[in-house]
Structure 1
């Protein structure tokens, strides 16, 4: 049975839908049509700035930026600072002894127990460059660029397990569902590339990162700002090539038909995610030509391939470093390289040696290559993991546990004090002793280099304004040029 009230509700719903459709279709020639016109318009050298309805149009930050691109070399698993960047002679002297009891009061660890003994550094350190920064013997290539680096030895985070700590480093929160740093960057600055995604991700090492795609997801930002995972061999993206029997003409006609249907639906409901879908289809079509060209490292001179240790056709961290430079050259705003191999609870000596063999040359070559192409001044390169390792042993006599209290990272690029070592830890490397830098502080400083006040780059969601640094974060003035 149908009651009169049901008919009234249906009539009101139809009237509201009609009014909405009329407004979207008739006012200003249709908001959806305007959005699609901006999204699909071919690039023009003399074109005026794209319409604000195009969410990926280049945007102006809050103030003049020092950099416009970011490359993150994410060493997933937590590299041991004691074997790489934070030399601790006292830790070597006390190797095999119990740490001071008061040091562990209230300390939360992932796996070790209070009876774990101190573990001295496994490798030698030496001073390098004019900055005289002490670097491990495991990093001969990084040692050669030390005067281009800003090494931070006083990093801190809130999480001591992998997935939450990786999310913290990538999104500013331990919870899934928050936008990644790359997503915030493309949301704030848009893209300079018409033919490639603004945010590209590569994976190497034993497996993908513990937090998975949460590291490059757009969270509550429009999905257009999610990172796009590229493969370093074969098709950059699965199914990018047309299947047998499908010509480019057929592909174009099919896409035009789908776009017409999406345009009609966008005019009816005004959902911005439909515009995102159209933009994604168009980007995928253009990438069928642009992405293979960008990924063709075989076109690089032999001396460049040798500098990186890159080998065309293989999947490697070295290849990904070279690809990062090629993508930044082509206007890609944010490139994130994950190398998930650094979780050494045991077998530290041999495993971290192999990690450095796999990554050291590529990291140093990337900085050198950006510099010789004139790109380092406008690009920020960041090296580091989600946390550090304990000065206490775990896994017999050759492993270290997760440690959020103190760890090391390095950065290079525009706006930084090159040849700088910032912050320090206590004599055992357990806690920060000077100039602590929390992950939120790191994010605030990165956004500052990009021209943003981290407190003003916000997005309204569920009744409040969110930002990358949440309600935290202070600018680290001591590392800024």
Structure 2
């Protein structure tokens, strides 16, 4: 995809007639978030990414390993792979696994409600990535690179496809606090600034606290429109005189989005409008609220919504893997309710739901001097699991596998680049053609790699 024309170039191309055009008219003619046709017919239109930040353990959630029970307390026959910290003997999972649905997919007992959705879920059990550290792995899953400075997946999606509702952002990020790294995970980087994710702190339950100062209580909508048009015209005179300024252009577009959000954002974010029975199915807490808001946003045409489980890295259980039980207790119901609601409304057919963290955890116990209780697991980038559903993804499928202990992906190994390529394919985009020229080369979400995983497509 070619780099878009700057507004300065546009002004030069249409000449003196611009002085008679309204800002709203210009936006209609050159709206960077207007919905656009994909490269080919799409299976999906939206993405919801439920990010379990910190790194959930695959052998305690979605990848049962009976060998861990048999060899518990002994050394792995092939030795332990190198990870971030020192690990010791094999550690069996304290959780039982049960089969679910007609597919018979096995899920840990800590996810009974998600397990009930097994026939709609694809479990990719053969994920791997380059580094056993949070930061590079977070960047890889969110931005397609291990280093900072690259656009996030949501930014690429709105750049390539736009969005359906111009009264709401095209890309929304919900987190009660911030994950490790923070805003760089939803940055637009060198893409136009309008494609950056809109961050909302979903630890707030009142819509006016989720987006503070959105409503102008002193001016009418018409007065705000005149004020915004005047400010836009002054900014554009500055652009004509000084030349292109991506940050200024991004601010102009952001102010326009904020103005339009007044008409729909408060309603979309107000989960109290949901029936009490629906709210009860999602449960209480920040993540439950985030999942429900994600559904409401997608129903209103938002292209991508990402929901982080919590502040920092809550799934990073080096000390005690039993903490996973408490975390699952507040994530199982909302994830299942979201899938069930999307399916009931028909939206699951056109919405990809992606569930997972930045890596997995070792099947061996961590024995570094940094832990107080030796009942946890270190980071594991060699093999782990993620879940996908909807939008053309084949349900009731376990794709790929790790070795008998769950340490390393061995069959149908799948990299985050492959996941990104597959998501873009389902959205109707050829990942090799969704590019942006920057610093003398074409960049893309999948860098110079990535293969569509066709076996998981229905």
Q: Over alpha carbons, which structure has the higher Rg?
A: 1
Which residue of structure 2 aligns with residue 258 of structure 1?
A: 231
* Conservation of the 8 A alpha-carbon contact between 1:87 and 1:134: yes
Q: How does 1:117-128 map to 2 (within 5 A)?
A: 117-128=89-100
The 1-side partners of 2:434 and 2:21 are apart by 26
Q: Secondary structure at the match of 1:409?
A: strand
Deviations 1:410-463 (A, max 9, x none): 111021111111111111111112111111111111110011111111000000
Matching of residue 229 in structure 1 with residue 206 in structure 2: no
Which residue of structure 2 aligns with residue 296 of structure 1?
A: 270
* Conservation of the 8 A alpha-carbon contact between 1:217 and 1:227: yes
Which residue of structure 2 aligns with residue 362 of structure 1?
A: 334
Q: Secondary structure at the match of 1:437?
A: coil
* Conservation of the 8 A alpha-carbon contact between 1:141 and 1:360: yes
Structure 1 residue 300: Cα displacement: 1.3
Match of 1:137 among 109, 113, 118: 109
Which residue of structure 1 aligns with residue 215 of structure 2?
A: 241
Structure 1 residue 129: Cα displacement: 0.5
Q: How does 1:372-387 map to 2 (within 5 A)?
A: 372-387=344-359
- TM-score after normalising by structure 1: 0.86
Which residue of structure 2 aligns with residue 460 of structure 1?
A: 437
* Conservation of the 8 A alpha-carbon contact between 1:24 and 1:30: no
**Distance of aligned partners of 1:255 and 1:405 in 2 relative to their CA distance in 1, 3 Å threshold:** same
The 1-side partners of 2:171 and 2:9 are apart by 36
Q: How does 1:423-434 map to 2 (within 5 A)?
A: 423-434=400-411
The 1-side partners of 2:226 and 2:83 are apart by 58
The 1-side partners of 2:305 and 2:150 are apart by 18
Matching of residue 219 in structure 1 with residue 197 in structure 2: no
* Conservation of the 8 A alpha-carbon contact between 2:320 and 2:377: no
Q: How does 1:67-78 map to 2 (within 5 A)?
A: 67-78=44-55
**Distance of aligned partners of 1:436 and 1:35 in 2 relative to their CA distance in 1, 3 Å threshold:** farther
What is the aligned-residue RMSD (CA, Å)?
2.2
Which residue of structure 2 aligns with residue 86 of structure 1?
A: 63
Match of 2:42 among 59, 65, 85: 65
Which residue of structure 1 aligns with residue 450 of structure 2?
A: 473
Q: Secondary structure at the match of 1:292?
A: helix
Structure 1 residue 258: Cα displacement: 1.3
* Conservation of the 8 A alpha-carbon contact between 1:165 and 1:174: yes
Which residue of structure 1 aligns with residue 4 of structure 2?
A: none
Structure 1 residue 34: Cα displacement: 6.9
Q: How does 1:285-434 map to 2 (within 5 A)?
A: 285-310=259-284, 316-340=286-310, 341-349=314-322, 351-394=323-366, 395=371, 396-434=373-411
* Conservation of the 8 A alpha-carbon contact between 2:33 and 2:166: no
Deviations 1:329-385 (A, max 9, x none): 111000000114100001221x11111011110001001001111100010000000
**Aligned residue pairs, count:** 439
Q: Which runs of 5+ in 1 are unaligned?
A: 1-19, 42-50
**Distance of aligned partners of 1:305 and 1:393 in 2 relative to their CA distance in 1, 3 Å threshold:** same
Deviations 1:384-410 (A, max 9, x none): 000000011014431000000000111
The 2-side partners of 1:59 and 1:365 are apart by 31
Structure 1 residue 199: Cα displacement: 0.2
The 2-side partners of 1:399 and 1:329 are apart by 39
The 2-side partners of 1:76 and 1:256 are apart by 41
Which residue of structure 2 aligns with residue 103 of structure 1?
A: 79
The 1-side partners of 2:19 and 2:45 are apart by 30
Q: Which runs of 5+ in 2 are unaligned?
A: 1-6
The 2-side partners of 1:250 and 1:143 are apart by 53
* Conservation of the 8 A alpha-carbon contact between 1:39 and 1:279: no
More displaced 10-residue stretch of structure 1: 280-289 or 177-186: 280-289
Structure 1 residue runs of 4 or more that deviate by more than 6 Å after TM superposition: 20-23, 31-35
**Distance of aligned partners of 1:346 and 1:366 in 2 relative to their CA distance in 1, 3 Å threshold:** same
Q: Secondary structure at the match of 1:194?
A: coil
Structure 1 residue 280: Cα displacement: 1.1
